[in-house]
Amino acid sequence: MEQIKKKIGFICDMDGVVYHGNKILDGVREFVNWMIDNEKRFVFLTNSSERTPHELSMKLERMGLQVSADHFYTSAMATAAFLSSQKPGCTAYVIGEAALTKALYDQGIYMNDVNPDYVIVGETRTYSFEKLEKAIELVNNGAKLIGTNPDITGPTEKGVAPATGALIAPIEIATGKKAYFVGKPNPLMLRHGLKKIECHSSEIVFVGDRMDTDIIAGIESNVDTVLVLSGVTKVEDIDNFPYRPKYIADGVGDLIK
């Protein structure tokens, strides 16, 4: 782990790495304080599009951890940046929460339910047949289908809930059009993190708890990876994949021991 401590920057997943639901994980406070005390550059990268960086900062504050909003980057922000680079000033029909809409507005992308350039789907608790029907109509009329992330499920206090991959699947099936997903494991997401902390890929380590999104994203971005076992992945699960993380730890607290 000494090689990890020498890194200039750290990019970390959140759920399963920093917290479970509303409970902060062991060693996280010590790890974050160590990064701050040693002037490390760091950003928390999340596939969730439900919360703004400010809301994520407030969530950690409620858990007793002070991290400013500029240390967070979400799939909503990555999606907005991607669309802005593809077609500046485009319009979109959105199935998602306010954080996704705000990220799009911040990039000059506005809402349109008549003839939008894109249909965008993110996590939401207001999913309805009416919105689904509208999205199918617009995609059939030529709108491009975009998902903030490909996750099928996401963890909740009660177990799991359908995430973007599950919510967008009926639109793909009904239209015969495949969505483009911006969030992890798309290397685009990690490259946004690198740009945010102004580091080269060789200077950072990426910490995550999922082999199928976090670790593969790090490998495809030529970044050293750490799999923490504090989330969804167990040691015996690793051999189910044709690739491996560079390092394995029980939790982020082990990285500074």
CA distance 136 to 124: 17
Count of alpha carbons within 13 angstroms of residue 191, beta-carbon side: 10
User: Residue 162: helix, strand or coil by DSSP?
Assistant: strand
User: Residue 144: helix, strand or coil by DSSP?
Assistant: strand
The two structure tokens encoding residue 84? 């802005």
CA distance 254 to 228: 9
User: Residue 181: helix, strand or coil by DSSP?
Assistant: strand
The maximal CA–CA distance of the chain, rounded, in angstroms, is 56
Length in residues, the chain: 257
> Which letter does DSSP use for residue 11 in this model?
E
User: Residue 13: helix, strand or coil by DSSP?
Assistant: coil
Burial zone of 186 (CB within 10 Å; 0-12 exposed, 13-18 middle, 19+ buried)? buried
Torsion region of 218: left, alpha or beta (phi above 0 gives left; psi -120 to 50 gives alpha): alpha
**Residues noted as catalytic:** 13, 15
CA distance 54 to 70: 8
